[in-house]
Amino acid sequence: MSCGEAHETPCTEVLARVYSYLDGELDQGGCGEVRQHLDECGPCLREYGLEESVKKLVHKSCGCEPVPSDLRSRILGRIEQICGELKDAEASPAGRPAGTG
């Protein structure tokens, strides 16, 4: 998603980092970049608001049970794999899978 406006931190980068921001996993500089972007960008702020609401609902429903660290690692690994596949697909000419040409 992009609002079409020029920002110091691109919309796609902010939205890719919003979960880390919500989880408190970004350093102070990263948090500042995300906050500044959200202050300037209405479309991303709306997206962030939705994500924050969903996260609060999940926390309310499931907050009492800790997530096993191996499960968290597997999920994060899968998310990174899918993000890489999506980037490769976007970068390949005419929508063909990377490596076929």
pLDDT tens string 10-60 = 888 887 887 788 778 888 888 888 888 878 887 877 777 766 766 776 676
Query: What pLDDT was estimated at residue 83?
Result: 85
Q: Is the pLDDT of residue 84 over 80?
A: yes
| 42 token code pair | 């209405």
The model scores a pTM over 0.85:
no
Query: What pLDDT was estimated at residue 74?
Result: 92
Q: Where are the domains of the chain?
A: 11-81
> How far, in Å, are 8, 36, 64 from residue 13 at the CA level?
10, 13, 31
Q: Is the pLDDT of residue 61 over 80?
A: no
